Amino acid sequence: MEKNVGDNIRPAIESNAKAQASHRSAANIALRFLSQRSHTRRELSLKLQQRGVEREIIDQVVAECERLHYLDDEAFARAYRRQKTEKGYGARHVQSAMKKKGFTDRDIAASFSDYDMVADERTVAQNLLLKKVKTFGHFPDVLKKKEKLYRFLSSRGFSTSTIMAVFDTTLSDT
């Protein structure tokens, strides 16, 4: 039986068409995720992996998203840090949450470059404390009140030194 020259080319074309379709499908999935909210490089890779996309295609799609500026871990890290601190979380809590989300140490450090760890942290803690004190009303046991407030601020990621400094300025009349 005689072989045609096209017999060797057809499987290569079909394979290439499948790869292009798979790449296009993965890119569409990535764009759908990124249209809903920002993601880290790691988050997007994991979501594509969970959808059964091959590692090689994931790397290509993520690189393409970065090239087109649809995916920018450093900008997302700055926005995420700002959002968390505005919601009343301390630096320790924010850094821990950022690590879980998949930000690199470099991105985390860059996001805190414009954040004054002493002054800004105290301002956030003080505002949060003033808001929380109002919910207590009249609390007869001052020591228990301070213990509760300390635990609250600590659970929000504020350091002991920040909490004590805020207590000295805010609760001095209590």
Q: How far apart are alpha carbons 147 and 171 in whole angstroms?
A: 12
**Claim to verify: residue 14 and residue 61 sit in the same structural domain:** yes
**Claim to verify: residue 56 and residue 78 sit in the same structural domain:** no
Asked whether the predicted pLDDT for residue 76 surpasses 90, the reply is yes
| Tens of pLDDT, residues 1-46 | 455 544 554 454 455 666 677 888 899 999 999 999 999 999 999 9
**Claim to verify: residue 77 and residue 63 sit in the same structural domain:** no
Q: How far apart are alpha carbons 54 and 13 in whole angstroms?
A: 20
CB contact at 8 A, 26 and 61: yes
**Claim to verify: residue 100 and residue 125 sit in the same structural domain:** no
| Tens of pLDDT, residues 89-122 | 999 999 999 999 999 999 999 999 988 877 889 9
